[in-house]
Each structure stands twice: as C-alpha cells, then as structure tokens.
Amino acid sequence: MADYAVVDPATGETIKEYPTISDEQLDAAIGRAHAAHDGWSRSSTVAERAALIRKVAELHTERRQQLGEIISREMGKPIGQATGEVDFSAAIYEYYADNAESLLADEKIDLLEGEGSAFIRRSSLGVLLGIMPWNYPYYQVARFAGPNLVIGNTILLKHAPQCPESAEAIEQIYHDAGFPADAYINIYATNDQIATTIADPRVQAVSLTGSGRAGAAVAEIAGRNLKKVVLELGGSDPFLVLGTDDLDAVVESAVGGRLENGGQACNAAKRFIVVDELYESFLEKFTTALTAVEPGDPKVEGTTLGPLSSAGATDRLEDQVKRATDQGATLVAGGGRDGNFFKTTVLTGITPDNDAYKEEFFGPVASVYKVGSEDEAITLANDTPYGLGSYVFTNDSEQALRVADKIEAGMVFINAVGAEGVELPFGGVKGSGFGRELGRFGADEFVNKKLIRVAG
C-alpha cells in the first residue's frame, strides 16, 4: 500500500491511494515557496492577506459537509464532530482575519535613556514547514497556517499519511480563496524527506503536532540547523475532583472530557483524580455513564463514539490495556474491541510501577485514582512526563486558583471541559512540548520581532 492512503477505519477498506512526492518535486516545491515569499510578504498588505484568510473561512463553511465526510472516512471521526471541527477551523481563520492588523501593529517601547523613539515591527521569517497529525485534520492546519499566512510567511504542509484527501481539500481551498499558488503547498513526503526539508536553508522554521518521539526527532534536526521549532506533543491530562455540589454534572463533564474525538485528543481528560470522600460515588456514576456510550457508525448523525483511527492505533490501545492489567491494574469495565471499534474502558489500581502510570491512553480508556487530600491530588497530577492541559473541579473558588497555580501544565480549566476558544493560547510544558498556538500568542511564534530605534 502507498505511504499516503485513505483507509476507512470503520470498514478497513482502502478507498484511495496517493503518490509520495519525488525528491526532485520536493526540492522544486521548497524553491517555489521560497521564491514566493518576497512577493507575498512585501507586495501584499496585512489587510489584503487578512481578506484572503477570511475567504478561506467562508469556503470552510460552504464546504462543511463535504469536508466533514472526508475526515469521517479518513480517521473515523463521527460526522457531527467532523463538521464541528470544520466550523471551529473557520472560526480560527475568522479570528485572524478580524485581528490581523492589531496583532501585527508596531509595538512602542518606552525609552529609559536618550531621546527619540523605539518600537518593534513584526515581519515574516520565510518558508515554514508544518507537520500535522491525523486526529484533527482541519483544526491543526488552521491554527498553524492561518496566522502565519497573515504574517506573510509561506507554508509547506506535510499532513499525516492517513489524511491525504483532507490535505488535498485544504490546499484546494487556499487556491480557490485566491492565494498565490506557491504561498501554500501541500507535500506528500516521507519522514526522510521531511528531515531533508527541515535542514534545507530555504526553510526557516518548523511546527509539529504529534508524538514525543516525533517531536524529539524534529527538534534534533532543527537544532542542528538553528531552526525555530514549535512542538505540541502528547498529554495525559489530569481531571481533579476536589469538591462539588452536583456530582452528576461533574460526571457528565468527565465523560465528555474523556470521549472527545473518541478519546484521541492530546488534551483530553485521561487521569481522573478524586478525593476519597467522593471517590466511590464518582467511580460508580462515571463507569455507568462512560460505558453507556457504545461505539457506532461514524457516518450516522448522532454517533458519539466511532472507531479508533486505524488498526495500528487499536492494536496499541489494546496492548496498553492488557499490559496495565497484567501489571496489577483493575479492569472495572470495558476493554474489548470489535475491529477498530473499542469499548469504553475504566481502569483503577494503577500504581507507579505500572507502565500505564506514565503512559498516554489515546482512546476511550479512563484511569481513576483515589487521593486523600488536595496536596496528594496535586502531587499525583504532576507526576507525569506530560504537561499539556488539566481540569480542576471544585466548589471552592479559592481552592480552584490555589490548585491551578500548582499544576504543571500549559493550560488549566476550572469547572469546565470543552472551553477552548480561538482566542485562547494552546500549548504545554515538560514532555508536551513548547510554544503556543491560537490567539495572539499563535501569531507571535514565527515572526521577526525587529527593533527599530530612531535617534532624537
């Protein structure tokens, strides 16, 4: 089978294969993006680039059903969530269209000595390489390409091998919106070709969303070649239950936080850490609610949980659950599979010597822990290689902020799941990477913040 192919995880059917780019074609693509940069960044204004990004948003909205159906068959996302992802992507483009000029406006610096003035002027860097994952095929591209095209950078986009059709559809949208042909170029490249691309002196920086292993490989090559990198890697986000007046509402949030995108989200709630006085009630209610969600056909409206993204992903999750129980964890419910459809699963009794204690479960598997105090909950929440997001549920507002200050993560959501927004920065610390996307911070990673000092 070709490196790039659409394989429906619900049926196992290979729908279409796409040829990998040749080395000569890749070199030409890098050259075209490099040559396009000067004209794109200097011959167009911020307002003109913002108008084109707005058109990209409009085309996403116009084509939402078609786009949703593509990723439903590429990676098994339920159609309602798929079209929702298209809508969120359109909102990201709209945000950068609306705010482009203010985000790129000159920033005055107050001088401590001397006369005259000083300011920072933001400008583009050049060709950027984006390496995208399969779990959010449109959203991931939007949050990378949207702000950086407004800035005036040009884009080489390498999508996941199982998402070639959505990659093609996105590139077509950019062309139909009126972007110069070489401002955004989709490349079906191999990992070896990507290593060569990162090292190419015409490429100025790289953004990757993916695994820690991929992030380390990309960062190593980029570091050797002095390239700026933004990495958004995995997560094993804690969900702390410290106090509540409405446990049913907390459980509803916990189920939603665990099952977003079939549990295949870097920032999904994965480890549920519950104070002892609420533990038994939470575990009972949570297990009942989670296991009530059955996998179904992702192409049918109303389906909440589709298949996992691929046979490989399902095999990995099945192996993780088996290793966890072999090493002493208790399988409270679930654990089975039917093809790539994986039953919602609850594990307890995971101890620090269990592999599962440090691993990320990328699928509908929840681990539940009991703690005796707030401090114990914080210690457990932070005892992970990851540091992407986190969730704190409590009816004590002072406790909420106190705990939020101590959580080692890039994001803390208090009494809420699904509260991300286009204006809110997204990113992590520790093994979850570095750099930020979305909001004003997402438009400030790949820019030359040039100081201009004018004498009095």
SS3 243: coil
DSSP lists the bridge partners of residue 146 as none
Catalytic residue, candidates 74, 165, 266, 359? 266
Which pair of structure tokens corresponds to residue 246?
Answer: 């409405």
SS3 27: helix
Per-residue buried b or exposed e for 46-69, using 16+ beta carbons within 10 Å of the residue's own CB: beebbebbbbbbbbbeebbeebbb
Of 301, 270, 291, nearest in space to 343 by CA: 291
* Catalytic residue list contains 163: no
- The whole-angstrom separation of Cα 59 and Cα 350 is 47
Which pair of structure tokens corresponds to residue 249?
Answer: 């509402």
Of 59, 67, 61, 44, nearest in space to 152 by CA: 44
Cα 164 from chain centroid? 18
Give the amino acid at 432: S
Our CA dihedral for 68, 70, 74, 76, rounded to 10 degrees, sits at 30
Which pair of structure tokens corresponds to residue 330?
Answer: 């208790």
- The whole-angstrom separation of Cα 92 and Cα 53 is 10
Catalytic residue, candidates 94, 232, 359, 374? 232
Per-residue buried b or exposed e for 367-406, using 16+ beta carbons within 10 Å of the residue's own CB: bbbbbeebeebbebbbebebbbbbbbbbeeeebbeebbee
Positions annotated as catalytic residues are 232, 266
